[in-house]
Structure 1
Amino acid sequence: MRGLLYIVILFVITGCSYSSSQPMALDEAQRLMHSDPTAALSRLNGVDVSEFQDSATMARWALLYSEALVVNKLSAPTDTIVDIAIDYYGQHNLTDEFQKASRLKALIRSSDDADALATALYLQKEKEFLLYKERAKRELYMFVGLVLLIIAAGIIIWMRQRIRLQSLQNEALIAEASGLKSQIDVSRGDVGRLEMKLHGLLENRFALIDSLCQTYYESHGTKTERKAIIDKVKSKIESVRTDSFSEMESAVNDCRDNLLVKVKDNYPDIKTEEYRLLVYLASGLSTRTISLLLGESVDVVYKRKSRLKSRLKESVEAVCPDIMSVF
């Protein structure tokens, strides 16, 4: 791993040093252009054009090379090199360099001094320029391919993220649906229990009516009719007061969202008589019926009811707003 890192660093240093040596060679050739034009042309011929990294350096070399040909009074077999400078400076609106390249092109054409070595070197530079163009084209294709690859990778990552988010949303919806199903099942169970309680209450109520009717029928026409009915009613009232109280308490909690449980939790000091009165009130019994069950007069029931309402309003109403509907 360390060796690979050293190789990468070596390539970077070598590339940077080579790139920095190209402008230095061009600067040297420009400095020698009029004092020693032969050396300037030799220096320009010594530069490997195919290794240039940008078109600006290529255009500058082409301009200097064309100028060196003119200064050395040499002709060129083609206009390829000088056209490099003309095209670049024309496209980039560099007027001075463009005009200079155009003048050099005219001077190169007018020169009749053909040199075999200069021609061979010129053609070699043309080949190097073609290699440069091919390399630049490959690099462009590689760059475009890399950009497309990055875009494709970005799209793939985006799609995967979107699919992942969609999957999470689906899981959340499934969990929510499962929770709703559980709530529905619980509600169905509660409804079933309430139906059973209602059926039981109806049966008990009809049983009470049936019992009273049978007593009335059996006692009808006798002297003991009124007494028998009164005794039967008293017996049923006592049964409700003692045996049926727990059933009434359970029914109130089921039908009123655990109202009595909330009262006990938030008002633990409630007295037994007050709690019994609350159960009867929550069951929807009338004041007269409650007075019979409690063995108190109607006026006393009204007063106890008022006091209980005030106490529950202070201690329970904030937690259980429905408590006032009992009264």
Structure 2
Amino acid sequence: MKLIDHGRGGNADVLRVVDAATPQPGAGQVLIAVHYAGVNRPDILQRSGSYPPPADASPYLGLEVSGEIAALGEGVTQWQVGDRVCALTPGGGYAEFCIVDAGHCLPIPQGLSMLQASALPETYLTVWTNLFQRGRLQAGESMLVHGGSSGIGLTAIQLAKAHGARVFTTVGNADKERACLQYGADVAINYHEVDFTDVVARETGGQGVDVILDMVGGDYIERNIQSLALEGRLVQIAFLEGSRIKLDAMPIMLRRLTFTGSTLRARSVAQKSALVADVRERVWPILASGRCLPVICKVFPFDQVQEAHRLMESSRHIGKIILQVQGDPA
């Protein structure tokens, strides 16, 4: 088979298509013939050497795929060869075939294409576990997500609105502002023009928002805490601007705030399987109804993976970036 290798790491130029042996599924695993693979920010970090994979994971890039099950490992009964699925992978998704735990596969939601399905697993599972499980977002509450035009951001906006929340988001330009409003945000804040803390304070009558989903870190952390309501929850999913800061933690105590966060890749097989089952029960019916669908920015041929990574790093994209590994965009 062919896969994308990033060698010892570096900039996007290190990415190349190489030949490798097709892996074989072990007990409890399936082999997926990959049609599409999602491109995510952790792929960029792994390629550059700042996000090494877990010791028991594939050393190659790619955390979500869609395709057809090509082979079953011992003990797998819930899937059949030929089933069309999307899946959360422990790595190795940038390949013609990849190994996935059977419990980390999901059927393609009714009405969605193979292309759309490739944009679901990593993104929707990340949003669900952080915004709803850890952030405990409820109907009638308010939520702020930073980077609203990203795949994570647009997913968070749509799912929060579907669950009855008021949604704030930050963006970097007018095009991204329009996109976020189009997909359901109530308030889109251009951070180049205004301080989001001022807008949140004004729009909430000084009360703040109930939940903040942040991937920026750095000086946003203290400003996030400033923007939280009583009993508010700050959920950290990345640190694009760094994780080491000086912080006045007194507001956490005085306003009974929660500062939490999580990563997905390092969780156990059982923990990921439980999350997949929850998302299948709680989110898949929403997708099948035609709501909260993934927003696809651009699809790149497999051999143009360098350009896909460059677009991700430029932050010019609105929505998901996808690699077409094989098959047509059906």
| TM category, shorter | under 0.3
If each structure's strand is expressed as a fraction of its own residues, which one has the higher value? 2
TM-score by length of 1: 0.19
State the TM-score, normalizing by the size of structure 2. 0.18
Q: Which has the higher contact order (CA 8 A, sep 6+)?
A: 2
Higher helix share: 1
